[in-house]
């Protein structure tokens, strides 16, 4: 027997016990009401991930009433090609909203340009206790102006675009999810599960969130941040020399000699100018920039080869396995061995087991 509520055959909607119910006087009944916004081009897992977390929490004492809504109440097509049937139109969500969930999609400019959708999200957010954006859902939520002055997370591939499009918000490209008052935003796709588990923990306590995580076979809190997935793709490239000469040399050969004297020589022998200009142009020190690129080179070697960790450390410029381990801990929050196990293969026997 399925632990999740049955869905009606005709519409695919959740059974009525899963929706806000009337108490007889026009008010919604008890329970925590969650409204998930849907629109054409939405990322499927941005919608279903949070819904499944809430549904799992309901099996362990939760009383979440889950409702989905599209702008006109009509079905929407997701990025996977699957059609989702909403429960109602956004304007018909006239019940108290405890949590509003705004998912996203890779073509974020489409929902942002839909003024009716943005206005509806703004209205609904104004009367919601908590507002959560999953992945690129940060874009339509940012378009409402409600995220101005706040720190915000989104998919690492979209962080630069979010920062450029909405300069009044502070984009955190590393965080899995960020809480700022009643607003919560998450990194890409599956990070919506992390975000929702966090919301469940806030609502019902760690025991319920842990039970839901175990049921879904996911981490309650995943190790590391988004830097496990990219650095070079969103690293700032200096526009001027000598900083650009320095970064070109490091990017070309992360495992090479990039000590301070070597970098100064590459910058024309002016250490003061390099120290002053490099952070301005790249947003980091020479040591941090070099270290992060070496970590990324080591990541590639760990994912695609069988070299021993000592060999990987030497080839990527760390010099020793211990130095590489410290760098991975600092930048990624995981060890080189665990990183290799998690990102190289889906075979469960390849992942280290604890006794």
Q: What does the pLDDT look like over 314-337, one tens digit per residue?
A: 888 888 999 999 999 888 888 998
What is the model's pLDDT at position 222? 55
Instruction: Tell me the average pLDDT of the chain.
Output: 80
The percent of residues above 90 in pLDDT, for the chain, comes to 45
Q: Would you give the end-to-end CA distance of the chain in angstroms? A: 33
Cα separation values, 268 from 144, 245, 275, 277, Å: 48, 9, 13, 13
What is the model's pLDDT at position 139? 97
Report pLDDT digits (tens) over 137-187. 999 999 999 999 999 999 888 888 999 999 999 998 777 888 999 999 998
When divided into structural domains, the chain yields a total of: 2
Per the domain annotation, does 309 fall within a domain?
yes
The percent of residues above 70 in pLDDT, for the chain, comes to 74
Q: How confident is the model at residue 8 (pLDDT cuts 50, 70, 90)?
A: very low
Per the domain annotation, does 143 fall within a domain?
yes
Per the domain annotation, does 237 fall within a domain?
no
Query: What mean pLDDT comes out for the span 81-96?
Result: 96
Same domain, 206 and 69: yes
Answer for the pair 351, 342: CB distance below 8 angstroms, yes or no. yes
Query: What mean pLDDT comes out for the span 91-114?
Result: 96
Same domain, 182 and 253: no
Same domain, 247 and 342: yes
Give residue 78's domain range: 16-222
Answer for the pair 66, 13: CB distance below 8 angstroms, yes or no. no
Chain centroid offset of residue 205 CA: 22
The closest alpha carbon to 42, from 98, 97, 117, 107, belongs to 107
Residue 136: CB atoms within 10 A of its CB come to 29
Q: Minimum mean pLDDT among 22-31, 51-60, 110-119: which range?
A: 22-31
Same domain, 155 and 265: no
Q: How confident is the model at residue 16 (pLDDT cuts 50, 70, 90)?
A: very low
Cα separation values, 107 from 79, 145, 164, 199, 225, Å: 9, 20, 16, 27, 24
Q: Look up the CATH number of the domain holding residue 71.
A: 3.40.50.880
Report pLDDT digits (tens) over 228-282. 455 444 455 555 566 666 666 666 666 677 776 777 676 666 666 667 667 777 7
Same domain, 208 and 301: no
Query: What mean pLDDT comes out for the span 47-51?
Result: 96
Same domain, 208 and 151: yes
Report pLDDT digits (tens) over 277-303. 677 777 777 778 888 888 888 887 887
Helix or strand or coil: residue 227? helix
Of 222, 253, 280, the last residue of a domain is: 222
Per the domain annotation, does 67 fall within a domain?
yes
Q: Which pTM was predicted?
A: 0.63
Per the domain annotation, does 78 fall within a domain?
yes
Q: Minimum mean pLDDT among 21-35, 90-104, 174-188, 260-274: which range?
A: 21-35
């Amino acid at each position: 027997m399925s632990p999740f509520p049955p869905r009606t055959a005709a519409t695919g909607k959740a059974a009525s016990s899963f929706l806000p119910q009337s108490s007889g006087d026009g008010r919604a009944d008890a329970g925590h009401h969650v409204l998930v916004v849907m629109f054409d081009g939405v990322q499927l897992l941005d919608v279903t991930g949070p819904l499944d977390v809430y549904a799992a929490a309901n099996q362990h004492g939760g009383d979440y009433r889950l409702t989905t809504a599209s702008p006109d109440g009509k079905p929407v097509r997701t990025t996977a090609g699957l059609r989702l049937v909403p429960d109602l139109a956004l304007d018909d969500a006239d019940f108290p909203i405890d949590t509003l969930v705004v998912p996203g999609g890779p073509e974020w400019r489409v929902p942002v340009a839909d003024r009716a959708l943005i206005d509806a999200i703004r209205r609904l957010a104004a009367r919601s206790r908590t507002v959560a954006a999953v992945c690129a859902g940060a874009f339509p939520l940012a378009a409402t102006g409600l995220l101005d002055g706040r720190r915000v997370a989104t998919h690492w591939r979209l962080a630069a675009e979010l920062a450029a499009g909405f300069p009044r918000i502070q984009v955190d490209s590393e965080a899995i999810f960020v809480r700022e008052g009643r607003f919560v935003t998450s990194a890409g796709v599956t990070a919506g599960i992390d975000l929702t588990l966090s919301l469940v923990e806030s609502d019902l306590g760690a025991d319920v969130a842990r039970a839901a995580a175990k049921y879904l076979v996911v981490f309650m809190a995943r190790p590391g941040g988004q830097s496990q997935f990219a650095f070079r793709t969103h690293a700032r490239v200096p526009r001027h020399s000598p900083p650009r000469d320095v970064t070109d040399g490091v990017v070309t050969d992360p495992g090479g000699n990039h000590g301070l004297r070597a970098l100064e020589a590459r910058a024309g022998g002016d250490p003061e100018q390099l120290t002053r200009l490099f952070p301005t142009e790249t947003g980091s020190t020479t040591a941090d920039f070099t270290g992060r690129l070496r970590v990324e080179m080591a990541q590639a070697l760990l994912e695609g080869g069988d070299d021993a960790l000592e060999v990987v450390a030497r080839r990527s410029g760390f010099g020793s396995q211990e130095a590489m381990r410290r760098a991975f801990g600092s930048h990624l929050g995981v060890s080189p061995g665990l990183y290799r196990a998690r990102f190289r293969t889906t075979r469960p026997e390849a992942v280290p087991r604890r006794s």
